[in-house]
Structure 1
Amino acid sequence: MSAEDTPALSGGPLRKVARVILLDPSDRVLLLHGHEPGDPKDDWWFTPGGGVEGDETREQTALRELREETGITEVDLGPVLWRRVCSFPFDGRRWDQDEWYYLARTTQTATVTEGFTELERRSVAGARWWTCRELTEAHETVYPTRLAGLFRRLLDEGPPERPENLDTEIV
């Protein structure tokens, strides 16, 4: 069964999402530091990205979200690496998502948050470039949960020939 055929846990449609594995020239990955609005102690790290709007393609969504969440516009967008369905509570509701993870590269490493939505202003505490080693040794929560191993394999083997379907994650 494909992600498109999978019903959302809440009974509604899955939210279509584009996420980005953004690498800099040193092969560091950019992650955002998020938290539950109103509770900065309930925190995690995650990849930039968000929901498809209107008739956007997922590629257009990936580039728009990068621009809005990081200010980074000089991007070489590559292939879809991974797909996953996930479900998680956030800001008082359950989010059921069909996420596609795109590989991208940039030489632009400074980030700005001028394009944040109101919800992002209340729930994103910053951004950080991570080496593979730092990510592997991290004790923080990172989504997707297998990102350290996936990142290591990406650096060692390059992108997969076709997108890999990751296990469904329900938090």
Structure 2
Amino acid sequence: MTYIDRRAARVLLIDAAERVLLLHGGDPAQAGKRWWFTPGGGLDEGETPAEGAARELDEETGLRVDPADLGEPVHHEVTEFSYDARHYRQAQHFFLHRVPHWDVSFDGFDEGERQSITDHRWWSLAEIDASDEEIYPRDLADLLRRL
């Protein structure tokens, strides 16, 4: 199998109630397959992980943050997945950002995001632990406990 190598940045957005924001969506090439995931995505050419994380956070939630306010990544992983009939190997950095509260806006979505992201929800650790839904990263609850 041939993979497209890609760099990405994601944000663990935590509110005052210690809940993490997850987006819900799926792959246009796999009707009916849905999962929950953290805001973020692929880096643009020349973009640092913090710049990409801040841009993606704005596009996917409406929350604007200065990349410097994200600090250093708190987690890094390499994941492999298929999306829209292409196979990716993605090296991704995760940043932690806390907000007292945030009302998510999907107004900044590009066409691809409009086709693939359908909902959002703030999740507690207990809800993540109890869920049988697909949630990415797979070890999200353990990762949040370590932070």
Partner of 2:72: 79
TM-superposed deviation, 1:38? 6.0
- Counting only pairs closer than 5 Å after superposition, residues 1-171 of structure 1 correspond to structure 2 as 10=2, 12=4, 14-37=5-28, 39=30, 41-73=32-64, 76-154=69-147
Which range moved further: 137-146 or 39-48?
39-48
Structure 1 contact 10–96 (Cα < 8 Å) conserved: no
SS in structure 2 at match of 1:31 = strand
TM-superposed deviation, 1:143? 0.8
Structure 2 contact 7–92 (Cα < 8 Å) conserved: yes
| TM-score between both structures, scaled by the size of structure 1 | 0.78
**How many residues get paired?**
145
Which range moved further: 139-148 or 104-113?
104-113
Hey, what's the Cα distance between the residues in 1 that align with 2:51 and 2:101? Answer: 19
Q: CA RMSD in A?
A: 1.8
TM-superposed deviation, 1:106? 1.6
Compare CA radii of gyration and give the structure with the larger one.
Answer: 1
Residue type matched to 1:32 in 2?
L
Deviations 1:67-95 (A, max 9, x none): 00010125742331111111111111112
SS in structure 1 at match of 2:53 = helix
SS in structure 1 at match of 2:12 = strand
SS in structure 2 at match of 1:61 = helix
Q: Which runs of 5+ in 2 are unaligned?
A: none
Residue type matched to 1:10 in 2?
T
TM-superposed deviation, 1:144? 1.0
Deviations 1:16-37 (A, max 9, x none): 1011111111111011001121
SS in structure 1 at match of 2:115 = helix
Hey, what's the Cα distance between the residues in 2 that align with 1:98 and 1:47? Answer: 15
Q: Call closer, same or farther: CA 1:82–1:117 in 2, change over 3 Å.
A: same
Structure 1 ranges of 4+ moved more than 3 A: none
Hey, what's the Cα distance between the residues in 1 that align with 2:72 and 2:44? Answer: 20
| Identical columns (%) | 42
Residue type matched to 2:91 in 1?
D
| TM-score between both structures, scaled by the size of structure 2 | 0.90
Hey, what's the Cα distance between the residues in 1 that align with 2:65 and 2:31? Answer: 31
Which range moved further: 61-70 or 34-43?
34-43
